Structure 1
Amino acid sequence: MNKNFVNFHILISHSPSCLNRDDMNMQKSAIFGGKRRVRVSSQSLKRAMRTSEYYQVHFPEVSIRTRQLELLGKELTQLAPKIDEKWISKSIELFSSKVIDDSDDGVESDEESTQKKIAVAPWSVSEFKTFCALVQEIYESDLNEKDYESLKKAIEKEGKRKATAKKPKLSDDEVKDIFLAKIVKRELKERTEAMVKACGRTTDIALSGRMATSGLMTNVDGALAVAHSITTHAVDADIDWFTAVDDLQEIGSGHLDTQEFSSGVFYRYASLNLQQLQKNLGDASREQALEVAAHVLHMLATEVPSAKQQSFAAHNLADLALVCFSDQPLSLVNAFEDPVKETGNGFRRPSINELHDHWQKLAVGFDLDDSCAEFVLEDVEVPKGISAVESLSALKQWVQNNGED
C-alpha cells in the first residue's frame, strides 16, 4: 500500500482563550455554514510547531526566517564558524544584489545598480554553507579559456562606455566581480540537486516550501498543506474587561483594556504529499518521509499557539486524531458546515460523531479505499473501515508502518 497522501484530521478542545488575533486585536474568525467560527490561522499553527521543543529534538536544524540579511550574516558567522566571514559576507552580498540577471554582458544596468528588496524568507544554514563553498570555489579558481575571453570583452566594453552621473565607470576589478557573480548563478543552476539536498536538512522548508525571493535562492514546493482550523460549532465571543493595578496609585488603576476570548472544539486538517517530501528531503526514502509524517502527527495533536497563554493557559491536547493514507488530499471540514449543536453534554462528543458520520458518507459515496486509523479519548464507536488504536504513540507507529497494522 503506497498511497501518496497522508491526511491528518484532529479535533482539539480549548478552554477560554485567544490563540490567534487580527490587526484589531480581536480573535481571528471565519464565516462557515452561515455562522461565525473562531479561527486559528495555518501560519500560527505552523509556527507553533516549528518553534516547539518537540521539533528541536526531532529536527535539529530550523530555518532562520528574516529579510535582514546583515543580521543573517552575523547569525551565520556564529552557526558556521569554519566558514571564513569574508565568504559569508560575499554570499549575502550576492543574494541581495540585482547585478545577477539573465544577460551575459557582465555589466549592470542603471536599474540593477541598486540593492534588491528581499522579502521575509526561510534560510537554511546547511544550504548557505553549500552556497558559501561554491562562492569561494569560483572566486578563488582560475577562469577557463571561454570565461576568460568573455571577461576580457566585458572589461573592454566597460572601458569604451561613457560614464554618467548616475553610473560612473567601473574598475576592472568591479567588472570581474560582477562577471564572477554571474558564473555563480550559472553554476548554481547546474548544482540544483546538491542545493536541494542541503536545503532538505531543514525539515520545515521541506514541509512548508519556500518561494524564492532572490535569483540565487532555491524554490521549494511545499509538501505539507495546512488548513486554517475552525470551531466545529458557532461561537459568540466574550469580552474580558481587565485592569492593571498600580500598587503606588491610591485611586483607580494604571491601565484599563478589553480582550475578546472564547472556547470551543477546533477541527485541524493537514495533508502531506509524501513524494514531494521525499524530493524536498533530497530524494529520501519513503521510510524517512513516513518518519517525518509521524512527527507531524504528534505536533498537530499536541502543539498550541502561544498567544495570550500567560493569561488563559489553554494548554490542551487533541481529543481525536484520525489519519488516512489516500490517493488525494481530502478534508472532512464539511462535517461541520452545519454547526454542531450543544444539547447539554458539550461539543466534544457530537463533534466526534459528526466527523465519523461524514467520513462514512464519503467512504461509501466515493468508494474510497483509504487506509485509516484513529486515536480518540472519548468512548465512542469507531466506524467500520477505521482501525482503532489505544494511544497517540500507537498511531504514530501505524503511520511509520505505512498505514499497516
Structure 2
Amino acid sequence: MSRFIQLHLLTSYPPSNLNRDDTGRPKTALVGDANRLRISSQSLKRAWRTSEVFEAAVGNNLGTRTKQMGKQVYEKLCAGGLPEKVARDWAKEIAKQFGKLKSDKKVENNTDLEIEQLAHFSPDEQEAIAALIATLIERKGSLTEEETKTALQLLSYPRRAVDIAMFGRMLADNPQFNMEAAVQVAHAITVHRAAVEDDFFSAVDDLNQSSNTGAGHIGEHGYGAGLFYLYLCIDHALLKSNLGDDDGLTARALEGLVCAVTQVSPTGMQNSFASRSRASYVLAEKGDQQPRSLAQAFLKPIKPWGEEGMLDMAVKALETRNQNIDAVYGACADARYLLNVETPVGNLAELVQFVTTA
C-alpha cells in the first residue's frame, strides 16, 4: 500500500463569490507579488463533506459538527414526558461531556445548553446519546449514581466517521479522543492575477411601479473569476488506521473524496452566480515519497499569450514544475494518473480506481 496519495487540480470558476471574508467580498491572497482569488480549505472541506456525492459513497458513516447537541437532547427529553428541569439538567450533563458549556447562560433561549466550541460527534457517540435518552425517558430521568457515571461515558474514539477520519477533530478537555487528520487540504488560489470586482444591482418592487426609477432596492456584491489550483495530500495509512483498518470503508471514503473534490463547488452565493464547476485537470500521484505541492509553478502568474489559452498554459507550467522537481530530487511518486477534460484524457471512474487501489 502506498502511504501517500496526492491530488493536484485545476478548476475554472466563472464570476462568483464562493468564499467571503468578513466584509462579504471574495477572499484573496498575495502570491508571487500578484493578487489572487482564494478559496479557504475550510470552505472546501465543508462543501465536500456535506455533499450528496460524498454521502452517496460513505452512507451514514458521517459525523455531525455542532454546539447545540444539548438543545436537541433537551427537546427530545421534554417530548418524552420528562419535567423541564429534569430534562434541562440531564441535557447539560450530556452536552458538557463534549465541551465546556457557554458561560453566558440564558435559559430563555436555551443557550445554557450550548457548548463553547463546535464538537464533531461520531455516529457511535450519537447512537450512545440516543440510547441514553431512551433510557432516561423509560426511567423518568431517575438513575442511580453508579448508573449515571456509566451512562455519561459517551465519548469514544471515532472509527466509523469518515469525515472525522479525514479532517480530524480536537476536544480540548478530552484529548484522548482527538483524531489526527489524514487529509491535508491547501487553500485554492488562482494561477493568474485576479481582481475583486463590484456588481451593482437593483431590484424592482412589483407592487410599487409608479416610481420612475423602478428600483425598490439597490445593493452591491463583490465577485471574481479565475482558474484555481488546489492541492490535497492524503495519508493513506493514517486514514485506514483512523477507520479501524477497515479496507472497505477506507476505499469508499477515498471514492467519496475524489468524487466530491472533482465535482462539488463551495456553496457561497450560488443562487446569485450559479458558479458550479468541475475540475478541468487532475493529476493524481501515489507513493511513499515525501509529499510536495506544485503551487510554485504559479509563483509567476499565468498570462495567456497568442492562441494558447489559460488552462493549457497552467497545465504546461504544472507539469514542467513536476518534471523539474523529479529531476532534482528523484521521482516524487511511484505512479501517476492524469485526467484532462480539454484533451480529453482519462475519466472519473479510472481516477477513482487509481486512488482507491493505492
User: What's the TM-score, normalizing by structure 2?
Assistant: 0.80
Deviations 1:198-226 (A, max 9, x none): x3322111111111144398211111111
Match of 2:296 in 1: 334
Match of 2:13 in 1: 14
Match of 1:34 in 2: 33
Question: 1:206 and 2:165 equivalent?
Answer: yes
Match of 2:310 in 1: 347
Equivalent AA in structure 2 for residue 373 of structure 1: Y
Match of 1:153 in 2: none
Q: CA deviation at 1:21?
A: 0.6
Q: CA deviation at 1:289?
A: 2.3
Q: Describe the shift of the 1:274–1:89 C-alpha distance in structure 2 as closer, same or farther (beyond 3 A).
A: farther
Q: CA deviation at 1:69?
A: 2.8
CA distance in structure 1 between the aligned counterparts of 2:201 and 2:347, rounded to whole angstroms = 40
Q: CA deviation at 1:120?
A: 1.1
CA distance in structure 2 between the aligned counterparts of 1:50 and 1:311, rounded to whole angstroms = 23
Question: Following superposition of structure 1 onto structure 2, how do residues 256-267 of structure 1 map, counting pairs within 5 Å?
Answer: 256-267=218-229
Match of 1:292 in 2: 253
Name the SS for the 1:240 alignment partner: strand
Kept after mapping to 1: 8 A contact 2:70/2:92 = yes
Match of 1:105 in 2: none
Match of 1:221 in 2: 180
Deviations 1:102-144 (A, max 9, x none): xxxxxxxxxxxx989430122123223246769999xxxxxxx
Deviations 1:322-357 (A, max 9, x none): 111132332111111111112244311101111101
Equivalent AA in structure 2 for residue 272 of structure 1: I
Match of 2:273 in 1: 312
Question: Following superposition of structure 1 onto structure 2, how do residues 112-127 of structure 1 map, counting pairs within 5 Å?
Answer: 117-127=115-125
Which has the larger Rg?
Answer: 1
CA distance in structure 2 between the aligned counterparts of 1:92 and 1:251, rounded to whole angstroms = 58
Question: Following superposition of structure 1 onto structure 2, how do residues 5-404 of structure 1 map, counting pairs within 5 Å?
Answer: 5-61=4-60, 62-73=62-73, 90=90, 93-96=93-96, 117-130=115-128, 177=145, 195-196=156-157, 199-215=158-174, 218-247=177-206, 248-249=208-209, 250-252=211-213, 253-285=215-247, 288-327=249-288, 328-344=290-306, 345-370=308-333, 371-379=335-343, 390-402=346-358
- List 4+ stretches of structure 1 deviating above 4 A: 74-77, 86-92, 97-100, 114-117, 131-137, 179-185
Number of residue pairs aligned between Structure 1 and Structure 2: 328
Unaligned runs of 5+ in 2: 81-85, 101-111, 136-141
Equivalent AA in structure 1 for residue 343 of structure 2: D
Q: CA deviation at 1:55?
A: 1.6
Equivalent AA in structure 2 for residue 365 of structure 1: V
Match of 2:105 in 1: none
Q: CA deviation at 1:97?
A: 6.3
CA distance in structure 1 between the aligned counterparts of 2:279 and 2:118, rounded to whole angstroms = 32
Kept after mapping to 1: 8 A contact 2:99/2:171 = no
Kept after mapping to 2: 8 A contact 1:95/1:216 = no
Equivalent AA in structure 1 for residue 161 of structure 2: T
The Cα RMSD (Å) is: 3.4
Equivalent AA in structure 2 for residue 392 of structure 1: L
Q: CA deviation at 1:317?
A: 0.9
Q: CA deviation at 1:294?
A: 2.8
Q: CA deviation at 1:92?
A: 5.6
Name the SS for the 1:239 alignment partner: strand
Q: Describe the shift of the 1:215–1:92 C-alpha distance in structure 2 as closer, same or farther (beyond 3 A).
A: farther
Q: Name which of structure 1's ranges 228-237 and 217-226 shifts more when overlaid on structure 2.
A: 217-226
Match of 2:106 in 1: none
Name the SS for the 1:365 alignment partner: helix
Q: Describe the shift of the 1:124–1:401 C-alpha distance in structure 2 as closer, same or farther (beyond 3 A).
A: closer
Deviations 1:181-213 (A, max 9, x none): 66678x77xxx8xx33xx332211111111114
Deviations 1:70-114 (A, max 9, x none): 23426888xxx9xxxx999847614416999xxxxxxxxxxxxx9
Kept after mapping to 1: 8 A contact 2:297/2:318 = yes
Name the SS for the 2:177 alignment partner: coil
Q: Name which of structure 1's ranges 254-263 and 265-274 shifts more when overlaid on structure 2.
A: 254-263
User: What's the TM-score, normalizing by structure 1?
Assistant: 0.72
Q: Describe the shift of the 1:221–1:98 C-alpha distance in structure 2 as closer, same or farther (beyond 3 A).
A: closer
Q: CA deviation at 1:296?
A: 1.2
Equivalent AA in structure 2 for residue 298 of structure 1: C
Name the SS for the 1:57 alignment partner: helix
CA distance in structure 2 between the aligned counterparts of 1:365 and 1:88, rounded to whole angstroms = 63
Equivalent AA in structure 1 for residue 258 of structure 2: L
Q: Name which of structure 1's ranges 305-314 and 27-36 shifts more when overlaid on structure 2.
A: 305-314
Unaligned runs of 5+ in 1: 101-113, 138-172, 381-388
Q: Describe the shift of the 1:53–1:74 C-alpha distance in structure 2 as closer, same or farther (beyond 3 A).
A: farther
Kept after mapping to 2: 8 A contact 1:39/1:230 = yes
